[in-house]
Amino acid sequence: MIMQPPAIEAHGLRKRFGTLTAVDGLSFEVRPGEVFGLVGPDGAGKTTTLRMLAGIMDLDEGAATVAGFDTQTQADSVKRHMAYMSQRFGLYPDLTVAENIDFYADMYSVPKRGRPERVNDLLDFSYMRPFRDRLAGDLSGGMKQKLQLVCALIHTPKVLLLDEPTNGVDPVSRRDFWRILYQLLKQDVAILVSTAYLDEAERCGRLALLDRGGLLAQGSPREIKGLMHRGLTAFRSTRARELARMLRAHLSGASVDVFGAQVHVVADDIAGARRDALAAIASSGLDAEDLGEQTPSLEDVFVAVLGADGASEAHPGQVSEAASHTPPSVTDGPAVRVEGLTRRFGKFTAVDRVSFETARGEIFGFLGPNGAGKSTTIRMLCGLLAPTEGSGTVAGFDVRTQPEAIKKNIGYMSQRFSLYEDLTVEENINFYGGIYGLSGRRLAARKDWAFDMTGLRERRQSPARVLSGGWKQRLAMACAVLHEPPVLFLDEPTSGVDPLNRRRFWDLIYDMAGNGVTVFVTTHYMEEAEYCDRLAMIYRGRMIALGTPLELKTGVMRERILDVACDAPQDLIETLAALPGVREAALFGAGIHLVVADPETVAGAVNRAFEEYGSAPAHVREITPSMEDVFVSLIEQVDREEAASAANAGGRQP
């Protein structure tokens, strides 16, 4: 068999911006039919690397070829054989969804014959078919991201460059997106993807772990996990953050981190650390399920390697001290209360009779797929959009009659970076401080706090436009809470932020909530949903579930979950999905989750399927549903009920 030449070759890539070296001597290859991942903290050089390979940015040193063509001297040939999806939207807001897709199809010379079928397949995969006639400028942030995916995939390139393509995309669509990628691999497409989702990185054939522009490690996910030489043991708890704080106080020489509802303890002597942890748990009275020693995930490795390397300058202690001055809420009643809240745009109902309450100091999570109505609800609660029907109060002020009072008593961080890119970091903070009436010593103190919270002190004179996506999110967060509001609205605040800095964000959120701030947060990171006190799920504008994470995981799922750990899960997922008793099969991290009614019977069938395939799974076992499992199950349950209702209504027609 003749080995195909690499589809991407990068040798000694280097790029400087003034005194900053963004990419420092980077070398790697990507083969046809391979998914190669770039992972690393914010500002590690991932986007700069992709932009150099796409021919958008010149190299300072080194050389690169894409599909056999030199990126510097043969840029036009590179672009004909490559598709590139950047973090910034490459859409035309005044064109409809269908017109944007047609534009990209024409640009890539996609033949007219067969084009409608290709377009319809992509619209179905992204659940965008109902919106094909909507202007791109009227789409939500997540829906714009999905449309950009569709446009990038309208032709079948030899090389596909994807810069964090699923940021802001809900779990259902992320699963479908990866199915599309695996289909492209069968056509020998080489895919280079940067991602902040470490479960997605588990699905790559090989990875490059970057930090500060340099290469820390390169290899398969299994080889990267070999970087972590310490042992790991885990505990599950409904009070995971309290458990983590207690264990940090009792375990010396161990690293303790929260992963959703789990607490991971990493130590050289893992048996001794586990023994000490169990003793501390027994005396603390905290609930905790001992999960035993575990194989580390890529996220464990990321946190262990880069956390020890000092990748983030933010310190939880500084956050706590600053947050302790938060004033009490201006109302003794619910911080947020809505009844029958509805918003229509013409004939389209974006939010349909939504009702709920949130208490002072509560972290309230708002979940739902792209276009479900989350951002529209938040805009109404922030006084930015008038409800069509219904009523509501925020911090005691009426959403219909007192929108200006609401704006003065809340903090709001939108999906997309909404600060002034031509102003420096410090100028943005000064500007927002002035808007909120801060001046003199008060502004100076809050600005000093903001620099400590964000880690942006060294970048205080940098224009906001040159910051990476994660650093921009930190700046936006600082500006949103600069005036210490009693109610804080965060619309996907950690989208595109690396795992280390997501944890820093949540340290801040917990400190604020502990001091009485009500935090209303939307997120597509299902691990983050575990951190909320209560969760509401909205779909097609309607509330479909409300409860604590535990209530949703134990009371909503009607089926049970089998976790199948195996190599190359994409090769077997269709086989397992076709087994009797399997209602749904989905990629989950580096394995597969099967939704079943009878786990024991299906487990036997799964093992027999592997025997016929000529391999064996690492394990097949029933697990407690994850929040992602619950999310997908609820969406599919509503879809099935509506389809059955439509079918029955059709059958009753004369």
Residue 115 region, left (φ>0) first, then alpha (ψ -120 to 50), else beta? alpha
The residue among 551, 577, 593 that closes a domain is 551
Mean predicted confidence (pLDDT) in 82-100: 88
pLDDT in the model for residue 331: 54
- Where residue 489 sits, what CATH number does that domain have? 3.40.50.300
Same domain, 456 and 574: no
Residue 344 sits in the same domain as residue 372 = yes
Coil/strand/helix, residue 110: coil
597 and 495 both lie in a single domain: no
Task: Indicate the average pLDDT of the chain.
Answer: 87
Rounded Cα–Cα distance for residues 493 and 307 (Å): 21
pLDDT of 309 reads 53
Overall average pLDDT of the 37-51 stretch: 90
**Phi, psi at 595, each rounded to 5°:** -95, 120
E-strand stretches of 492-609: 518-522, 534-539, 542-547, 560-565, 582-588, 591-596
Q: Which residue has the tokens 């009072």?
A: 405
Any idea what DSSP says for residue 642?
H
Split at pLDDT 50, 70, 90, the class of 230 is very high
Residue 308 pLDDT grade (very low, low, confident, very high; cuts 50, 70, 90)? low
pLDDT for residue 324: 41
Rounded to an integer, what distance in angstroms lies between the CA atom of residue 554 and that of residue 641? 21
Whether residue 312 lies inside any domain: the answer is: no
Say which residue, 204 or 525, is predicted with more confidence: 204
Same domain, 412 and 285: no
Supply the DSSP symbol for 317: H
Q: Work out the average pLDDT over 391-407.
A: 95
Question: What percentage of residues in the chain have a pLDDT greater than 90?
Answer: 49
Domain boundary (168, 190, 224) is at: 224
3-state secondary structure of 176: helix
Residues 535 and 570 in one domain: no
Total number of domains constituting the chain: 4
Pairing type for strands 82-85 and 69-70 reads unpaired
pLDDT bucket at 316, cuts 50 / 70 / 90: very low
For the chain, how many residues are written? 654
Residue type, 431: F
Task: Say how far apart CA 348 and CA 355 lie, in whole Å.
Answer: 19
CA dist 350 to 340, 344, 364, 382, 515, Å? 13, 6, 21, 16, 34
358 and 209 part of one domain: no
**In the numeric block, which tokens belong to residue 234?**
């885990």
Report residue 322's pLDDT band, with 50, 70 and 90 as the boundaries.
very low
Q: What angle do CA 269, 270, 275 make, to 5 degrees?
A: 105
> Any idea which residue has 């056509």 for tokens?
187
Please give the pLDDT value at position 653: 53
Domain boundary among 179, 194, 224: 224
Residue 246 lies in a domain: yes
* 253 and 184 part of one domain: no
Contact of 204 with 238, CB cutoff 8 Å: no
Tell me the backbone φ, ψ of residue 173, rounded to 5 degrees.
-70, -30
Pair 621, 580 in one domain: yes
Residue 243, in any domain of the structure: yes
Q: What is the CATH number of the domain that holds 620?
A: 3.30.70.920
Sign of CA dihedral 343, 386, 492, 486: negative
User: Does the residue 596 lie in any domain?
Assistant: yes
- b vs e for 403-430, b when ≥16 Cβ sit within 10 Å of the residue's Cβ? bebbbbbbbbbbbebebeeeebbbbbbb
pLDDT attached to residue 417:
63
Residue 352 clears pLDDT 60, i.e. is over it: yes
Same structural domain, 45 and 146: yes
Residues paired with residue 137 on neighbouring β-strands, in sequence order: none
Q: What is the pLDDT of residue 241?
A: 85
Q: Tell me the C-alpha distance between 555 and 347, whole Å.
A: 35
pLDDT of residue 292: 93
Domain of 61 in residue numbering reads as 8-224
- 362 and 421 in one domain? yes
Residue-wise pLDDT tens digits, 512-553:
888 899 999 998 888 888 889 999 999 999 999 999 998 898
CB 94 within 8 A of CB 336: no
Q: How far apart are CA 426 and CA 464, in angstroms?
A: 9
DSSP H helical segments within 530-626, as ranges?
A: 549-555, 573-577, 599-613
The answer to whether position 1 is within a domain reads: no
Global pTM exceeds 0.85: no
Alpha carbons within 13 angstroms on the beta-carbon side of residue 11 total 7
Chain segment 559-600, per-residue pLDDT in tens: 899 999 888 888 888 899 999 999 889 888 778 999 998 999
Res 651: pLDDT:
60
Bridge partners (DSSP) of residue 161 are 84, 192
Residue type, 440: G
The SS3 of residue 111 is coil
Measured distance CA(123)–CA(129) in Å, rounded: 5
CA 333 to chain centre: 33
Residue 386 lies in a domain: yes
Residue 581: the pLDDT is 94
Range name among 11-15, 117-121, 466-470, 538-542 with the lowest pLDDT average: 466-470
Q: Confidence band (pLDDT; 50, 70, 90) for 2?
A: low
